[in-house]
Chains A and B, each alone.
Chain A
């Protein structure tokens, strides 16, 4: 069974700090990996999608990297703000499963002002 694991489960940082969220997946045979944000009581919003042939994607203060060989992805958030407080989930599309996304349990981020 293919799985996605995220560490840490929760993270609390002061405003302005740079931070890294980690995601690992059990099989390097993936089509892509995606990072989502979930606000309390809301659905998920896609942040960044990295195709298997790519090493990283950037959007504003967010940078996601992908290392298929080691089964890892990181989400880097620069100069964190209180508005970044949310749960961040990564999801892998394993080739074995076709069109199904497998989600990690998420990292709950709190940025203190």
Chain B
């Protein structure tokens, strides 16, 4: 299995631009999580899905952030418009069915820099 796949791995954009991050979870996993990691705030959960349905989006910082999961094999995290303070590493993770949120497999992350 290829593991959780994220794209792009690096993104540099200018303030005000739209940014879309993509995630392909491990096949058969039924939970999908989006995290953000910064030096100041550490690793924070933004949103998670169960069977493609958003369950908890309380960690989404602002309305500028949105996430979708149109099917079991694809999710996006969109920032529109982007701001310099959104610069961070964004991780996607998925977990096995029946194991809940404990057995999370993380992707390699997308390093975002907003100028």
Closest Cβ of chain B to A98, distance in Å, is 7
Q: Which of A93, A100, A104 contacts B42 (CB 8 A)?
A: A104
* Given A44-B106, A93-B101: A100 touches B4 (CB 8 Å cut-off): no
B102 touches A32 (CB 8 A): yes
Closest Cβ of chain A to B12, distance in Å, is 16
Report B-chain residues with C-beta under 8 Å of the C-beta of A100.
45, 48, 56, 59, 101
B4 touches A43 (CB 8 A): yes
A43 touches B55 (CB 8 A): no
Docked complex Cα distance between A27 and B106 (Å): 26
A43 touches B100 (CB 8 A): no
B103 contacts chain A at the CB level, 8 A cutoff? yes
A43 touches B107 (CB 8 A): yes
Q: Which of B4, B42, B103 contacts A46 (CB 8 A)?
A: B103
Name the interface residues of A62-113: CB closer than 8 Å to any CB of B. 89, 93, 98-101, 103-106
Report B-chain residues with C-beta under 8 Å of the C-beta of A98.
56
Docked complex Cα distance between A98 and B56 (Å): 10
Report A-chain residues with C-beta under 8 Å of the C-beta of B102.
32, 34, 49, 93
Docked complex Cα distance between A41 and B55 (Å): 28
B100 touches A99 (CB 8 A): yes
* Given A34-B102, A93-B101, A99-B55: A44 touches B42 (CB 8 Å cut-off): no
B104 contacts chain A at the CB level, 8 A cutoff? yes
Report A-chain residues with C-beta under 8 Å of the C-beta of B4.
43
B56 touches A103 (CB 8 A): no
Q: Map CB proximity to B onto A28-41 as digits: 1 under 8 Å, 0 otherwise.
A: 00001010000001
B45 touches A101 (CB 8 A): yes
Binding site for A on B (CB under 8 A): 4, 42-45, 48, 55-56, 59, 91, 93, 100-104, 106-109
A-B contacts, 17 of them at CB < 8 A, read: A32-B102, A41-B109, A42-B109, A43-B4, A43-B91, A44-B106, A45-B106, A93-B101, A98-B56, A99-B48, A99-B56, A100-B48, A100-B56, A101-B101, A103-B42, A103-B43, A103-B44
